[in-house]
Amino acid sequence: MRLVEDPEDLSPSTGCAFVPTMGALHEGHAALIRHAKATGLPVVVSVFVNPTQFGANEDLDKYPRTLDADMAIAEANGASIVFVPSLHRVYPEGTAAATDLAARVPLPDVATRPGLEDRCRPGHFAGVQLVVARLFDMVRPSIAVFGEKDWQQLKLVEAMVRIAHGSTPNRWPSLRIAAHPTVRERDGLALSSRNRYMPAEWRERSLGIARALQVAHTAQRPSTAEEQMLATLKAHDFTVDYAVVRDAETLMPVTGLETRTRALIAARLTWPGGGVRLIDNAPLAIWR
């Protein structure tokens, strides 16, 4: 396995299977890397903590950085290259100018659905779209693997690539997006790089998210699912950003029962001197 910092040293990565990450790799990322490996293509894993997707008061400075451990996990799961571009390589014009540029590029509608991430983290998906597009330009993959854990992000990337495929010239002609299911701890907590912020005493409360998704899973109506998720999260001391049932593809509020739905949660746990914002999602049983 090679560590590559300069995009020019990536070639010939064209035709690879690509797993973009922000590092602090865990078993969820490892599963994505194995999924990429199973395609038979050489696997490129990027590690880049992208400043343009963090808001001013978010955790960019303390986001965990564990490159040596990340390299070991990438190698053990079959990666050929770990790509660690510098800030300057990704944003030669500087992050402020890049952010302005991103603000002028229309986001796919799924990224700005009312009541979801855009309300809580304005500008977040513009930064995600920008970095993913630049990474695709540098790596030129055939397949890029994303986790269902970040469902709205997955739908944004799928829409972005669909729009590219319908445009002339097609920016990433041979690219296909693959999704991998969320990897969880045995007790249901979705693996996340941010879980390591959590003191042991708060670990039990964090299960409120998995429990809320479980009650939503068996609910008979979207409104019941939403009420039960809220109650469960509050009982575990979460401050809820959203706990909603949406159309799984469009992320629009659900009006009928005929559509495939997804329960989506973002909620925060706080403790003296710290806190963590967790997101998760799951399908509802009766509208898989």
Q: From the CB of 78, what's the least distance to ligand AMP, in Å?
A: 16
Q: From the CB of 184, what's the least distance to ligand AMP, in Å?
A: 7
Output phi, psi for 108, to 5 deg: -55, 150
* C-alpha of 256 from chain center: 28
Nearest-angstrom CA–CA distance, 198 and 189: 12
Nearer CB in complex with ligand AMP: 182/228: 182
Other C-beta atoms closer than 10 Å to the C-beta of 277 total 19
| Residue 51 contacts ligand AMP per CB under 6 A | no
Binding ligand AMP (rule: CB under 6 A), the pick from 152, 193, 228, 281 is 193
Nearer CB in complex with ligand AMP: 192/261: 192
Binding ligand AMP (rule: CB under 6 A), the pick from 121, 140, 180, 262 is 180
Binding ligand AMP (rule: CB under 6 A), the pick from 149, 155, 246, 277 is 149
Q: From the CB of 220, what's the least distance to ligand AMP, in Å?
A: 28
Q: Reduced to 3 states, what is the DSSP secondary structure of residue 145? A: strand
| Residue 232 contacts ligand AMP per CB under 6 A | no
- Pick the stretch among 28-36, 214-222, 234-242, 268-276 that binds ligand AMP (CB under 6 A): 28-36
* C-alpha of 201 from chain center: 26
Half-sphere exposure (Cβ direction) of 212: Cα atoms closer than 13 Å: 35
| Residue 37 contacts ligand AMP per CB under 6 A | no
Q: From the CB of 58, what's the least distance to ligand AMP, in Å?
A: 13
| Residue 32 contacts ligand AMP per CB under 6 A | yes
Q: What share of the chain is helix, strand, coil (3-state, %, to 5)?
A: 45, 20, 35
Residues 57-86 that bind ligand AMP (CB under 6 A): none
Amino acid in the structure at residue 270: T
For ligand AMP, the nearest residue by Cβ is 147
The question of whether 236 is a catalytic residue gets the answer no
Nearest-angstrom CA–CA distance, 203 and 208: 10
Determine the straight-line distance between the first and last CA of the chain, rounded to whole angstroms: 39
Amino acid in the structure at residue 44: V
| Residue 22 contacts ligand AMP per CB under 6 A | yes
163-202 per-residue burial string, b: 16 or more CB within 10 A, e: under 16: ebeeeeeeebeebebbebebbeeeeebbbbbebebbeeeb
Q: From the CB of 22, what's the least distance to ligand AMP, in Å?
A: 4
Helix and strand element counts for the chain (H, E): 9, 9
Binding ligand AMP (rule: CB under 6 A), the pick from 147, 156, 210, 247 is 147
Q: From the CB of 182, what's the least distance to ligand AMP, in Å?
A: 4
* Interface with ligand AMP: number of residues (CB under 6 A): 17
Residues making contact with ligand AMP (CB under 6 A) = 21-22, 28-29, 31-32, 146-147, 149-150, 180, 182-183, 190-193
Query: Could you give the residue numbers annotated as active site?
Result: 29
